[in-house]
């Protein structure tokens, strides 16, 4: 299994470097590839802060990338839930992941953050 880093995912999504995007395509055609939660969090951060992509669009982009049998996402159910919360809220993506851990995995999240508590 090949684990993609943030840069690989960004080149694939943005198609801003044709050669790198093509290499990612080649990897996808040869291997099942994995995207860890940490990488998805960084992709969301870069797309929102650097590229200023609107939340709903950004969430759909990441969902589209992860919706293939050639890409394995660690705890995909959690990531999908967090992206939906992210698209419809003003929370940071990591906060949305915490909410996902509570709602989808049954974990207790301890926080003083009132915005997060509202969703829990």
Structural domain harbouring 62:
2-119
pLDDT band at 14 (very low <50, low <70, confident <90, very high): very high
In tens, the pLDDT along 1-13 reads 899 999 999 999 9
CB 47 within 8 A of CB 60: no
Residues 72/112, Cβ–Cβ less than 8 Å:
no
CATH number of domain containing 95 = 3.40.50
The fraction of the chain above a pLDDT of 90, given in percent, is: 92
Per residue in 75-110, pLDDT (tens digit) is 999 999 999 999 999 999 999 999 999 999 999 999
Q: If you compute the radius of gyration of the chain from its CA atoms, what whole number of angstroms results?
A: 15
Number of structural domains (the chain) is 1
């Amino acid at each position: 299994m090949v684990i993609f880093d943030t840069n690989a995912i960004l080149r694939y999504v943005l198609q801003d470097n044709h050669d790198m995007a093509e290499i990612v395509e080649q990897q996808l055609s040869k291997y099942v590839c994995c995207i860890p939660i940490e990488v998805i969090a960084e992709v969301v951060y870069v797309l929102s802060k650097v590229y200023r992509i609107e939340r709903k669009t950004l969430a759909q982009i990441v969902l589209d990338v992860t919706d293939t049998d050639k890409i394995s996402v660690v705890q995909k159910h959690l990531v999908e839930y967090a992206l939906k919360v992210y698209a419809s809220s003003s929370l940071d993506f990591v906060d949305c992941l915490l909410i996902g851990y509570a709602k989808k995995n049954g974990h207790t999240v301890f926080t003083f953050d009132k915005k997060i508590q509202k969703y829990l």
